[in-house]
Amino acid sequence: MAVLASCQQKGKSNGQDAGAASAGAASSDNWNDVRDTVPMPVFLISRMPYLEMHYWTNVEEPVKEGDDDDEYFASYHAAWERQEAFRRHASQYTHVLTNYSDFRIKFFDEVLKDPDGNTPSIGQLHGRDQIPSLCARYKLVEPVEEENESVGIVAVTDSYLQTRRQLSLTSEYEEGEEMGPLPDSIVTKLEKRYGMKASRSLWYHTINNRYIQGCVQFEGEYKDAPADQWGTKRCLALEVIADSSEVYAHEVLGYYVSENEYGWNVDDDGIYINIYIHTAFEGPHGLEFCYSRSAPESLAVGIAYLRDGKYELDQYDIYQYMIDEEIPLWKTDIAELKKLYYEAAAEEGKDVVLSKYAHCFFDLDNEWVWMRDKDDQHGGIFLRKDGHFKFVGLETPQVKPMEMNRDYKVYYLYFADPKDNMIVRTRVLAFKDGEQIEEFSALKVEGVYTECRMNGKAISPAAGKAYLDNLPEPEEITAYFTDIDAE
């Protein structure tokens, strides 16, 4: 997967206090060996009616180029191998779990191409369901009621459940409340171990009424951080598991510039963002926690292991959150819009070449598109409802669309000839919740209204003038156009 440029770094694991065992740390190096015996959990993104396992790299095996960095290529190829291991077993994933529920799922298909026949986005989480991602898709075997808050994001196979015991997770905070700190005995032990002062700690879960899970963030620079060739300074946070008097910690290194400038993720304001454990299991070799870490611009997923005195985080990869994206227009959409335009424009539009489009946000709940020619003289405005576009209004050299809004509940599109014309034709369309509720038209000759109609019926010129006088002031439409050829 293409990863987000992030300050997050995987650190080494720190074992128990002196005298504890330290061999046999969990590692992603044995991913394929373990996974081909018992497929490990994966993480699904809900985009109903589908649950999607988003891929983190292309499905084609990467080929090393002559000047590729060996270490980088090895890492990239390992990510592809991990993804391929999942794809081999995709149909075996039949459960999606939360801490308190188990939903049955079935493999549906893979999304390998977007509607234009290109590879969909890789490693990105889109806020708009219209934007496809390279992924495998699943469906729930039984429909879930809408009020059900979550169907979980952890997907497992029957063989995984048969070889593990799921453990209970108890949250140590109420929804909407701040988390409390870890017990003083745990924080004090870690301060002594690292010779640093903790600035904050969080107690997130109690696992199986036994293990305490949380995090600790230390003040200042971590002087004992592994050195690199650039002399990078580091700050330190710990993911923590405590079992009675034993305390296990996984180091997470951030970047330290000064006492006022440090952090682990983009835009984290110097606050370490801890992992969230979705499900916990006791496995053949120790404890396994399926986790995610949601930072301001990214989502990391993986499995944490507590084995042989080591607490390790095996991060699968990082997804990038995509914010404020345009709704895509595919080739079929553009063809449909052009057809609607030429039908509406008739003779006047026969020689017009529509060459660009823009999304217009007259309201935030519906999809509006404005198409124009290269000279901004001809065009049309369209609204998509129930998956299909409808033509709304025509732009000509004389008639330019404008918008009006009333309390963000009723919004208007205003089409009129230039006001200094002897004859001025005005057309106003009013919409609410994406539905047209009014259509007004008027003809004004030498400053006097002569014909006015509302929803196809004639009204008096006085009533027409009063309607127009009561409307909000027309404003230019804000639009940023994309050239169709650039697509």
Judge contact between 104 and 92, C-beta under 8 A. Answer: no
- At 298, list the tokens: 């990214």
Decide which of 322, 354, 385 is a domain's last residue: 322
Judge contact between 254 and 264, C-beta under 8 A. Answer: yes
pLDDT score for 57: 93
Same domain, 222 and 140: yes
Q: Distances in Å between the alpha carbon of 210 and those of 94, 170, 183, 250?
A: 29, 10, 14, 19
Same domain, 18 and 131: yes
Instruction: Provide the domain count of the chain.
Output: 2
Q: What is the DSSP string of 138-199?
A: EEESS---TT-----SEEEEHHHHHT-EEE-EEESS-TTSPPPPPPHHHHHHHHHHHT--EE
Same domain, 105 and 149: yes
Same domain, 36 and 125: yes
371 lies in some domain: yes
Same domain, 151 and 239: yes
Same domain, 16 and 102: yes
1 lies in some domain: no
3 lies in some domain: no
List, in order, residues 6 or more apart from 293 with CB less than 8 Å away: 8, 273, 274, 275, 276, 299, 300, 301
List, in order, residues 6 or more apart from 367 with CB less than 8 Å away: 327, 359, 383, 384
Same domain, 312 and 361: no
Same domain, 390 and 272: no
Same domain, 351 and 304: no
Same domain, 53 and 28: yes
Q: What is the DSSP string of 272-333?
A: ----EEEEEEEETTEEEEEEEEE-SSEEEEEEEEEETTEEEEEEEEEEEEE-SPPPP--HHH
Same domain, 266 and 138: yes
Judge contact between 300 and 265, C-beta under 8 A. Answer: no
2 lies in some domain: no
Count the Cβ atoms, other than its own, within 10 Å of residue 149: 6
Same domain, 193 and 299: yes
Q: What is the DSSP string of 421-448?
A: SSEEEEEEEEEETTEEEEEEEEEEETTE
Judge contact between 456 and 427, C-beta under 8 A. Answer: no
pLDDT digit string (tens) for the chain, length 487 residues? 222 222 333 333 333 332 222 223 334 444 444 445 899 999 999 888 899 999 999 999 998 887 767 878 888 899 999 999 999 999 999 999 987 788 999 999 999 999 999 999 999 999 888 899 999 999 999 877 655 545 678 999 999 999 999 999 998 776 667 789 999 999 999 999 999 999 999 999 999 999 999 999 999 999 999 988 889 999 999 999 999 999 999 999 999 999 888 999 888 888 999 999 999 999 998 999 999 999 888 999 999 999 999 999 999 999 999 887 777 889 999 999 999 999 999 888 888 999 999 998 887 778 899 999 999 999 999 998 878 899 999 999 988 899 988 776 777 888 887 777 788 899 999 988 888 999 999 999 988 999 999 999 999 999 999 999 998 888 899 899 999 876 5
Domain range spanning residue 55? 9-322
109 lies in some domain: yes
4 lies in some domain: no
Decide which of 301, 322, 343 is a domain's last residue: 322
pLDDT score for 138: 96
d(CA 305, CA 309): 10
Decide which of 322, 351, 383 is a domain's last residue: 322
The pTM for the full model equals 0.78
